[in-house]
Chains A and B, each alone.
Chain A
Amino acid sequence: MDKVIVVEDLQKVYKPKSRKQTVEVKAVDGISFEIPRGEFFGLLGPNGAGKTTTIGILTTRVLPTGGRALVDGIDVQRDPVAVKRRIGVCPQVNNLDRSLTGRENLVFHAEYFGIPRRVREHRAQELLDRFQLAERADEKPSVYSGGMAQRLKIARALMHDPAILFLDEPTTGLDPQARRAIWDLLSELNAKGQTIFLTTHYMDEADQLCRRIAIMDKGKVLQMGTPAALKSGVPGGYLIELQVQSADGAVTELASALPQLPGVVEVKAQNNIVRVYADKAEGLLANAMRVAGERGVIVTDAHVSEPSLENLFLHLTGRSLRE
Chain B
Amino acid sequence: MATLIALLHRDMRVARRELKFFFLRVGIQPILFTFIFGYVMPRIQLVQTGYANLLLPGILALSMTLSGMQSVALPLVVEFGWTKEIEDRLLAPISIMGVAVEKIIVGIIQAVIAGLFVLPLAWLMMGSHLTLQLQNVFLLVAVALITSWVFAAFGMVMGTMVEPQQIGLMFNVLLGPMIFFGCAYYPWAALQVLPWFQKFVLINPLVYASEGFRAALTPQLPHMSLWLIFGGLAGFCALFTYLGLRQFERRSLD
Q: Are A96 and B92 within 8 A (Cβ)?
A: no
Would you list which residues of chain B between 6 and 27 have a CB under 8 Å from chain A?
6-7, 9-10, 13-14, 17
Q: Are A100 and B92 within 8 A (Cβ)?
A: no
Cβ-Cβ contact count across A and B, 8 Å cutoff? 74
Q: Are B91 and A81 within 8 A (Cβ)?
A: no
Indicate with 1 or 0, residue by residue over A49-64, a CB within 8 angstroms of chain B CB atoms: 0000100100111110
Majority SS of interface residues in chain B?
helix
| Residues in B whose Cβ lies below 8 Å from that of A104 | 13
Name A80's contact: one of B6, B84, B95 (CB within 8 Å).
B95
- State the Cβ distance, B165 to closest chain A Cβ, in Å: 19
| Residues in A whose Cβ lies below 8 Å from that of B3 | 112-114
Kindly state whether residue B127 has any CB partner on chain A within 8 Å: no
Q: Are A113 and B85 within 8 A (Cβ)?
A: no
- State the Cβ distance, B120 to closest chain A Cβ, in Å: 29
Kindly state whether residue A8 has any CB partner on chain B within 8 Å: no
The chain A residue sitting closest to B6, CB to CB, is A111
- State the Cβ distance, A48 to closest chain B Cβ, in Å: 15
The chain B residue sitting closest to A80, CB to CB, is B95
Residues of A in contact (CB 8 Å), total 30
Kindly state whether residue B253 has any CB partner on chain A within 8 Å: yes
CA distance in complex: A46, B87 (Å)? 24
Q: Are B95 and A95 within 8 A (Cβ)?
A: no
Indicate with 1 or 0, residue by residue over B213-232, a CB within 8 angstroms of chain A CB atoms: 00000000000000000000
Kindly state whether residue A84 has any CB partner on chain B within 8 Å: yes
CA distance in complex: A97, B87 (Å)? 10
| Residues in B whose Cβ lies below 8 Å from that of A113 | 3, 92-93
Q: How large is the interface on B (under 10, 10 to 19, 20 to 34, 35 or more residues)?
A: 20 to 34
Name A111's contact: one of B9, B90, B95 (CB within 8 Å).
B9
The chain A residue sitting closest to B79, CB to CB, is A95
Kindly state whether residue B2 has any CB partner on chain A within 8 Å: yes
Kindly state whether residue A108 has any CB partner on chain B within 8 Å: yes
Q: Are B93 and A85 within 8 A (Cβ)?
A: yes
| Residues in B whose Cβ lies below 8 Å from that of A56 | 254
Q: Are B10 and A108 within 8 A (Cβ)?
A: yes
| Residues in A whose Cβ lies below 8 Å from that of B13 | 100, 104, 108
- State the Cβ distance, B138 to closest chain A Cβ, in Å: 35
| Residues in B whose Cβ lies below 8 Å from that of A182 | none
A-B contact pairs, 18 of them (CB 8 A): A61-B87, A61-B253, A63-B253, A81-B94, A81-B95, A89-B91, A91-B84, A94-B83, A95-B88, A98-B85, A100-B14, A104-B13, A108-B10, A108-B13, A113-B3, A114-B2, A114-B3, A114-B93
A sample of 19 more A-B contacts (CB under 8 A), given A94-B84, A114-B3, is A61-B254, A62-B253, A62-B254, A63-B254, A84-B92, A84-B93, A84-B94, A93-B84, A95-B85, A95-B87, A98-B83, A98-B85, A99-B17, A104-B13, A108-B10, A109-B88, A112-B10, A114-B2, A114-B6
